[in-house]
Every structure is written in structure tokens, then in C-alpha cells.
Structure 1
Amino acid sequence: KKLSEKKNLTSKEIFDVIVNILNGNCSEIFISAFLISLLLKGENIDEITGTVEALQSHSIKISPSVNLPIIDNCGTGGDFLNTFNISTASALVASSCNGVVVAKHGNRSSSSLSGSADFFEFLGYDLNTESKLVIQSIETIGFGFIFAPKFHPGLKNVSKVRKELGLRTIFNRIGPLCNPCTNLYGQVIGVSDPILLNILPKVIPILGLKNALIIHSHDGMDELSTCSKNTIIKVSYQDEEYNFNKLILEPSELGMPKCSLNEISVKNKLQSIMETMRVIYGIKSSKSKENIVLLNSAALLLTGNVVNSFKEGIPVVKESLDGGAPQKKLRDFINKYGDISKLEDAEKLL
């Protein structure tokens, strides 16, 4: 009733509703009405916070034991620009540099042609890998993939409705905030809706992250773009308090030529996966695709306090890419936790 009158819910009220949805206590009609009413009203910080807390309370949590900062990069999706798997490639490149471990939280595509789960599944990774093996992967390889539906089993009770609605609901907005890794150090969170630049930074202290970059490109991507300027909200925990700083990043100032969206877009799922692999493998890749991955990889190193600036980070990730470290990282990952024959089949298509 409150939502129909466009009144805000308290974090406790929405927490209780989401918990009931996750427990399978709500009908599909109720879930549809609830999500649409919330969408039409517009979510506020309390509603987003309450939803995150509800989802986290029902997640399968992991706590890898590592000496390096554990970081993640994940976006809300919703830009519908049909770019390749930029964040996935960036996660692999960053994890191949010394200084950080990546716990990549992701899902199948909702608005893009291929999501991170689509990419890894095509290359032979078992999306239903048990949590203890995901932990082992993070601890031994320095990279792990956390498949959202596996670690948030309650989402199955809302998946059908979300798919049939075909709308960007609150679950899309809070997805990047729900990594079940309890000792996550930092995160790069991409948003396609600039309104979230004012909301999501306020959630970071609740998550307990030490560093976060909330990013939005002026061409609408939930990634850092080399096609336009980018707005970044940097959240950092220092001297027992959180600091918030707004930055405007112009890639050309880092020596990266401006490109067009056509240069980084793809036409279908297979092309998206192949172009992502080409960047990771450093072969037959366009300079525009490589540059946007380098930029987003540097953001991850910045979040992990490996470097102090994008200018410092880009040469570090480029050296790793040129040396073949991301390719080795991907092969090790699939060889130990997937079907290497599928990766080898994909390599033949490059």
C-alpha cells in the first residue's frame, strides 16, 4: 500500500519483504506488483540497503584466506550497448598482476550479449562449482568466479518474474553490492544509471569495504569508457572514517586515444566471447578493445592500493598483458576447475 502511494519503505520493511520473497513465501503476482511499484516510485538508500542486507543474510558466504587484498568488479548492466566482456577481461588481467586477488561475482547476461557467467561457462567452467572449490581457486590461483544464482539460492524464487517483466528491478541495482565474500577489500562498481552515483557510495560503509570506485561513463556504460569522459566516486576508509571524492576521468589525458562505440561493440554472444579472449590472449585484438580493458584493469589495481593512480596503473597492467600472464591465468583456472577441452576448442576459433 505504501508503494502504491509512492511512499518510501524503511530498511526494516523492505528487508522483511525481500526475506519472504527469498524464502518462497510470496506469489508471483505479489512479487510482480511489488517490483513494479518500487520501480515506478524509485528506490532510495534505505530500500537499497535493506534489500542488500536481506540478500546477504540468505547467501552462501565464503572467506578465502589470502595475504593480498581481495577485490571485485561488477556492474549493474542496463546500458544495452552490446560491448564485449570488458569487466571479465579486466578481472583476469588485474588478477595476473602482483598485488591483488580477484573474487569475481557475476551472472549470465541480462542486458548485454554475454555476461561473465556465459563467458566462463562457454570456456568450460562449471557454474555449479561448490563453494569450497571457489575458495580454493581464490587462494591458490588468485582468481575465482562466484556465480550469483549458486551463492544466492533464494533468487530462484524471483527469477521467473524478473525474466517475464523484462525490466531493470532493484535486484539489478543491488547485484554488484552482494558479493558473498566476507573479507572483500575493495570493489569497482559500474552503473549505467547516473542516479546511482549519488546512492551507492552511501552503501559502501555498510558493506565494510576499504576502497571502492563507483563508475559511470558519459556515454552510458557501466564501465570506464575510452569513448567519453567518466565520472568516478572514490570511497576510501582512512583514519577510521570514510572519505568520498568525485573525479572526472578523461582517458585522452592518460594517452589513450578516443574511440567510437562501434570499435568496442559486438554483434552476438560468440563474437563477444571471442573478442574477450583475443584481448586476454593478446592476439588479433583491436587497440580500442585492449585500451578499454587496460583502463578498467588499472581501476582494479587502484582499488586494491597496488597503484596510486590510473597513470601509474596502466603500464603495470599492460606489462602483464604483453607478457601473457592473463592467458596463463585463464588456462590454469579452467584446467583446475573446468573442462580444458572446451577452452582448447574455443582457442581454435581465435
Structure 2
Amino acid sequence: MISLLKEVGRGKRGAKDLSYKEALKAAEHILTGKATPSQIGAFLIAERIKMESQEEIQAFIEVCKLHSLRYPMENSIDCAGPYDGRNSSFIATIPTAFVLAACGLPVTLHGGKTLPPKLGVTLYDVMNEMCRDGNISNKNLLKGAEEAGILFVETEKWCPPLEKMRTIREEIGMRTLFNTVEKYLRFSNSSYMAVGVFHGTVFEKMAKLLSNLGIQKGIIVQGMEGSEDISVEKQTRTLIVKDEQHELFIIDPEVLEMQCDFPEVNWTVEKQTSTALDVLKGTAELPFHNMVILNSAVRLWVADKVDSIEQGIYSVRHILEQGLAYKQYQKWIRAIH
């Protein structure tokens, strides 16, 4: 481990990216406990200063996958957002998942308890609140996937090495390569993916990563608070990845007649949960309603379920108006209990 630290820890100018083989070795040492906490902390900080390469991130993903549970879902979509949560935006990906499942597109959602740097409200927090019970077994969550098309993964239970990293990550208090790694674990071997990034500067790196991981088609979103959620207030930059090719794609809510201004909200777990359920019931305020429609439509289009985003908007409106998304949520609740 010390020899690998010498490569990445020589300062901003002298540090070198590890080869894929070297990164696999570093990941194995760190994730299996062979490296000491001091060595792990030093490695993560050095990588943060140097900036992780695509090969290094991929190596850590592959080692994490070796130590993870898997539940393949054919022709599904993985929705991957920030594990450090949200402080100022609606987690639209949650009600969107039930809309997609109602449209016949299985969905994987995954997350955990909040982490640095944002320490915000997480998908894990809201899904547990929606479950009405924080102690749902993996067996029952798999029933939810089988019967309702929604797989909810508590990431640290499915990938125990990441649970062992939590204390170090909390003590460091800043973003590390694990903030990226955990989003790309694809517990269901999904064919499609919607993943959020904070900075557009990593678009190219993440596109190559998606292609190498075997995604059939994906969308990388410079979304709200680094999430995979597209805004209805302004244009959103995305990158469409397909067949090892990628292209920039701007989504404009005004052109799609979805644009709305958001009210100021003090987002708590309870407020996120009630708003998500209001959308599914058809009683939410227009901005939240439109945001779920737009994000659902885009993901249906990415997964080749509709020919255009406009067609997706039409289909999703019908699903919500008929109460089918809320029925899908109720079906999931019955399955997991």
C-alpha cells in the first residue's frame, strides 16, 4: 500500500494516476481491511487533490462489486443520485421511480444514511419513511422488486466494505472517490442508467465509465444538487451515452411546456416524503408535478420505451391522472410488508 501511496501522494504536480492493475490492488487493500485507517485516509485525500482517473474509479467499482449482493433485473433502469443528500431541492427521482414502474420499466434506487460533504436528506431517509418501517428485510425488498418493479437497495448492507469506510469518510468530511463509486455499482445489472454529476467538467470521464461498465444506454445529468433530477426552472445539461458514443443534450423545460418556478421549501425527511406522495396521488403543487412528469418522460425515452420526450410526457400524464403510479406505490408497500 505504501508504494501505491507514493505514486498518488507526491503533490499536485508530481502525483501520477495509478494504472488499472495498480488501482485494483489499492482497492483490494482498502476494501478488505489490509490497509490501515491512516493509509486509507491518506490515499483518499491524495486522490482528491490529484483528481481520480476514470481507470481508478472503475477499479474501485469492480472490487466493490466483487463484495456485493446482486439481483439482476432485465431491461431495468438504475437511478443514481448523490449519497450525501439534498438540502435545497425535491428528490423527484423517488416518485419518478413509481411512475416508471407503472409504465413497465423496472427501477433500482439505492442509497444510505447521509454522508459528507452535504449531509443532507437522502433517498434512503425518504424511502424508509415511505416504507412506514425502517426495518424491512432484504427478502421483502426483493419481493418489492419482483412484484412491483421497484428494487430499493440499502447500499451498505449490500456492499459491506462500504459500511466499513463510513467512519473514515465522516472523519475526512469531504468528497472522496467513494462518492462516485457508490453511484455506479449497478446492483441489478441494469441495461439503462440515469446518473447525476455536480460539475459538467466530469462529463467525458463519466461517459467513458458508463460505456466500460456495459450500459446499453444512459443519461448523465448535471442536475439539482448534483443529482440525476432535471430541473423545470431552467435548462439542464446532459450527456446521452449509447453504444460507446456520447453527445451533449440540453433539456429545456420551456420548450417542452414544463417550466415552473419553485417555491422556497424547508426540506425535511417528512416534507420530502409528503411531497412525493402528493405527486403520486395527483395533489402536488404544479412545480413538483411537472418535475416528476419531465424526469419520468426523459428516462422512458432513454430506456427506449417511447420515441420522444414529448411522447413520454403524454404517457406519464395519463399514468398520473389515472392514479396508476400511486397504485404502483401501494402494490410495492404490500409486497415489502
- Which TM-score applies when normalising by structure 2? 0.89
Whether contact under 8 Å (1:226, 1:258) holds in the other structure is yes
Change (3 A) 1:175 1:2: same
The equivalences for 1:278-289 within 5 A come to 278-283=278-283, 285-289=284-288
Instruction: Give the structure 2 partner of residue 303 of structure 1.
Output: 302
Q: Could you tell me how far 1:127 is from its partner in structure 2?
A: 5.7
Q: Distance in 2 between matches of 1:298 and 1:78?
A: 26
- Equivalent positions of 1:1-350 (< 5 A) are 1-5=6-10, 6-64=15-73, 69-76=75-82, 81-97=87-103, 99-110=104-115, 111=118, 113-123=120-130, 124-126=132-134, 129-130=137-138, 132-182=139-189, 184-217=190-223, 222-237=228-243, 242-260=244-262, 262-263=263-264, 265-283=265-283, 285-338=284-337
How far the C-alpha of 1:333 sits from its partner, in A, is 1.3
> Could you tell me how far 1:49 is from its partner in structure 2?
1.3
Superposition deviation, residue 134 in structure 1? 3.9
Which has the larger displacement, 327-336 or 145-154?
327-336
Tell me how far apart the structure 1 counterparts of residues 35 and 196 of structure 2 sit (CA, whole Å): 31
CA deviation after TM superposition for structure 1 residue 311, in Å: 1.2
> What RMSD in Å do the two structures reach over aligned CA positions?
2.1
Please tell me whether the aligned partners of residues 238 and 250 of structure 2 are also in contact (alpha carbons under 8 angstroms).
yes
Tell me the CA shift for residue 179 of structure 1: 1.7
CA drift at 1:258: 3.9
Q: Is the 8 A contact 2:193 2:217 kept in 1?
A: yes
Stretches of structure 2 lacking an aligned partner (at least 5 in a row): 1-5
| CA spacing shift, 1:329–1:218, aligned 2, 3 Å | closer
How far the C-alpha of 1:112 sits from its partner, in A, is 6.1
Q: How far 1:36 moved relative to its partner?
A: 1.0
Aligned residues: 325
1:131-156 Cα deviation digits (max 9, x unpaired): x5444432221222111111111112
Contact map agreement 1:74 1:188 (CA 8 A) in 2: yes
- Give runs of ≥4 in structure 1 deviating > 6 Å: none
Partner residue in 2 for 1:348: none
User: Displacement of 1:8 after TM fit?
Assistant: 1.0
TM-score, normalization: structure 1? 0.86
CA distance in 2, matches of 1:324, 1:109: 32
Note if contact 1:78-1:192 (Cα within 8 Å) is conserved in structure 2. no
Cα distance change on mapping 1:154 and 1:204 into 2, 3 Å: same
In structure 2, C-alpha distance between the alignment counterparts of 1:321 and 1:164, rounded to whole Å? 43
Q: 2-side partners of 1:186 and 1:81: how far apart?
A: 27
Residue identity over aligned pairs, in percent, reads 24
Amino acid across the alignment from 1:53: E
Which runs of 5 or more structure 1 residues have no equivalent in the other structure?
A: 339-350
1:155 match: secondary structure: helix
Q: Secondary structure at the match of 2:221?
A: strand
Instruction: Please state how far the C-alpha of 1:178 moved relative to its aligned partner.
Output: 0.7
